[in-house]
Copies of this chain bind each other. A is one copy, B any other.
Amino acid sequence: MTRQPRLEIEYCTQCRWLLRAAWTAQELLTTFGVRLGEVALVPGTGGVFDVRLDGEPLWSRKERGAHPEITELKRLVRDRIAPDMSLGHSEKR
């Protein structure tokens, strides 16, 4: 049984990106808490670092040619699951 909203972080084990993926998960769970149903860490290969929300791709390292910057990723998630929520200092100049 999965819980919605379900966020997935698929990361490359060959590139040793577990720490980056787990850190990203902790940042998102710290910010959104129980607004997120679950955050799944998905071990993969071949340079993958993809973030999906309920199946919708939010970020693909291969397409973007870079890892997601955490504040931008939080905005992408916030705009979908809690549009009225402020990200506090993360958003202020």
Copies of this chain, whole number: 2
Interface of A is mostly: mixed
The residues in A between 1 and 54 inclusive whose CB is less than 8 angstroms from any CB of B are 1-3, 6, 8, 13, 18-19, 22, 25-26, 29-30, 33-34, 36-45
Q: From known contacts A13-B33, A18-B26, infer whether A41 and B41 are also in contact, taking CB-CB under 8 Å.
A: yes
Chain B residues near A18 (CB-CB < 8 A): 26, 29-30
A29 near B43 with CB under 8 A, answer: yes
A88 CB within 8 Å of chain B: no
A55 CB within 8 Å of chain B: yes
Q: State how many residues of chain A have any CB contact under 8 Å with chain B.
A: 26
Cα distance, A1 to B36, chains bound together (Å):
17
Cα distance, A34 to B10, chains bound together (Å):
11
Could you pull out 13 A-B pairs where Cβ atoms are within 8 angstroms? Answer: A2-B2, A18-B30, A22-B22, A22-B26, A25-B25, A29-B43, A34-B45, A36-B43, A38-B41, A38-B42, A39-B41, A40-B41, A41-B41
